[in-house]
């Protein structure tokens, strides 16, 4: 199935001892016997999923008797010739990568692919350390498994790196393989996206909930990890932080295990809300990319959009969270990095410039799934429900919450119903009747908007 070399053992004996001690501590908590390696499996090989596994391989892969890191991706995805040519240039620009491939007798196939004499496949190049969605950032070689059952059947820790739109299907299949398991694995979900459910009450379904429903793994064993980060920059050791959210039993041990000098991991008990916020910022990132492209990167226009979209996001968090102030920092940080360099903002730019069309779908070559598109549909559908109605401050009547979110409405018409062009986003931010964003925030703070039923809480405390 393709072996993986361990690159870059931890610097110095003392640091190496600390790494081994962290691994031993987690092994004890998972009840691993001596001689039985801790099996960590990534499911899905997009940019962040691949980087996450590569970070663990770099940190712990040299301790082969104690830890095994592998990653599953679907087989058969061909690398087109233009990408193969670019990959060849990336290889030759990095002496360490070039030498590694020559040493592994793998360089010749990249020469042949560049000439068009050979077809490369995504799982094949991942074994050599190249993610198809992040071709410019070479990773360490990874052990790649293309058979899902083989990958996960005995896993101790599973990392969900598939998009939210694929999570239910993939983990439904995994659940069938785990029917005979005696002990439940620990699952860390990286997916940022949501689904809407309207029956019996409007509510949000998150990837961790999908995983629990599909596999029967108890919710205390399923965690969410998110944060303001760009996968390629994290692998290049830009300083970053993330937050792992979930039940007490596993979040602190995992935060310690995942923490590295350049990648600080905090922990929090509020899993579902952080997970939902990870999906919400993708919605508004698409609009930000559109505004940037349509105004020729006008700093003024982008700041107007930012003020308006963040006020909508704050308004929505008041519907979802009893104490939304706790989320302000993480949500704004994650939004900021996504606007700067995320794939959702990039997608919005390409749509507005006409370089992509909606007919191409939301899975884009070299980028992966644009999760903000499905999130626009889910949030719009939920916030359109009359059962969640709020009082309109000027009309003095009840309206669905979406009526207080004109940018979300505009994005829905552009991306989902497709009855407005991309440049209509500008009308949404130039509307003379729109509230000062401060007023929307004050409105949210001054009214009891909290609807716990949206996150599946049993009691609605609406007054």
Beta strand pairing status for 240-245 and 222-226?
antiparallel
Phi-psi group of 246: left, alpha or beta (phi > 0 → left; psi -120 to 50 → alpha; rest → beta): left
Separation CA 124–CA 104 (nearest Å)? 13
Separation CA 458–CA 165 (nearest Å)? 26
What's the chain's Rg over C-alpha atoms?
A: 23
Instruction: Kindly state the DSSP code that residue 260 receives in the 8-state scheme.
Output: B
Separation CA 441–CA 119 (nearest Å)? 54
* Residue listed under structure tokens 């003020």: 307
Active-site residue 192, yes or no? Answer: no
Angle, nearest 10°, between helix axes 406-415 and 299-320?
A: 100
Separation CA 169–CA 171 (nearest Å)? 6
Nearest partner of 319 among 269, 374, 393, 384, judged by Cα: 384
Instruction: Kindly state the DSSP code that residue 72 receives in the 8-state scheme.
Output: E
β-bridge mates for residue 369, sequence order: 363
Nearest partner of 266 among 237, 231, 229, 238, judged by Cα: 229
Question: Which residue among the candidates 281, 350, 367, 409 is catalytic per the annotation?
Answer: 281
DSSP labels for 86-132?
A: HHHHHHHH-HHHHHHHHHTT-HHHHHHHHTTSS-EEHHHHHHTT--T
Nearest partner of 206 among 214, 412, 241, judged by Cα: 214
Nearest partner of 218 among 255, 176, 177, 247, judged by Cα: 247
What's 166-197 look like in SS3? HHHHHHHHHHHHCCCCCCCCEEEECCCCCEEE
Angle, nearest 10°, between helix axes 328-341 and 299-320?
A: 140
The pair of structure tokens assigned to 227 is 């944060």
CA dihedral 63, 64, 68, 74 (to 10 degrees): 120
Nearest partner of 267 among 227, 230, 209, judged by Cα: 227
Q: Which residues are catalytic?
A: 281
């Amino acid at each position: 199935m393709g072996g993986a070399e361990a690159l870059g053992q931890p610097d110095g004996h003392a640091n190496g001892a600390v790494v081994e001690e962290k691994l031993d501590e987690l092994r004890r908590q998972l009840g691993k016997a001596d001689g039985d390696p801790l099996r960590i499996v990534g499911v899905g090989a997009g940019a962040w999923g691949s980087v996450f596994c590569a970070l663990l391989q770099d940190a712990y892969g040299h301790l082969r008797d104690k830890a095994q890191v592998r990653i599953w991706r679907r087989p058969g995805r061909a690398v087109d010739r233009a990408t193969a040519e670019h990959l060849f240039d990336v290889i030759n620009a990095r002496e360490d990568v070039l030498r590694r491939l020559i040493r592994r007798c793998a360089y010749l196939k990249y020469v042949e692919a560049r000439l068009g004499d050979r077809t490369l496949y995504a799982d094949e190049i991942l074994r050599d350390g190249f993610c198809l969605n992040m071709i410019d950032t070479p990773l360490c070689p990874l052990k790649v498994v293309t058979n899902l059952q083989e990958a996960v059947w005995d896993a101790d820790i599973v990392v969900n790196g598939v998009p939210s739109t694929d999570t239910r299907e993939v983990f439904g299949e995994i659940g069938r393989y785990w029917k005979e398991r005696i002990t439940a694995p620990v699952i860390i979900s990286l997916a940022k996206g949501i689904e809407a459910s309207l029956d019996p009450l409007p509510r949000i379904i998150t990837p961790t909930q999908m995983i629990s429903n599909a596999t029967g793994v108890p919710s205390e064993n399923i965690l969410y990890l998110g944060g303001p980060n760009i996968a390629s920059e994290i692998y290049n050791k830009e300083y970053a932080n993330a937050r792992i959210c979930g039940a007490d039993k596993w979040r602190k041990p995992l935060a310690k295990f995942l923490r590295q000098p350049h990648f600080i991991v905090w922990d929090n008990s509020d899993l579902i809300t952080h997970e939902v916020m990870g999906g919400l910022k993708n919605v508004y990132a698409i609009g930000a990319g559109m505004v940037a492209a349509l105004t020729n990167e006008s700093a003024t226009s982008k700041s107007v959009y930012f003020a308006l979209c963040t006020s909508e996001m704050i308004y929505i968090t008041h519907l979802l969270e009893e104490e939304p102030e706790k989320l302000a920092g993480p949500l704004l940080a994650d939004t900021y990095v996504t606007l700067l360099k995320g794939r959702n903002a990039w997608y919005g730019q390409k749509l507005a410039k006409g370089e992509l069309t909606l007919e191409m779908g939301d899975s884009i070559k070299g980028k992966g799934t644009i999760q903000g598109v499905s999130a626009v549909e889910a949030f719009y559908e939920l916030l359109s429900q009359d059962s969640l109605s709020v009082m309109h401050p000027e009309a003095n009547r009840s309206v669905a919450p979406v009526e207080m979110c004109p940018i979300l409405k505009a994005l829905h018409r552009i991306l989902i119903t497709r009855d407005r062009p991309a440049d209509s986003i500008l009308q949404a931010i130039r509307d003379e009747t729109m509230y000062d964003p401060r007023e929307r925030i004050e409105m949210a703070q001054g009214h009891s908007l909290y609807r716990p039923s949206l996150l599946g809480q049993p009691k609605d405390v609406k007054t």
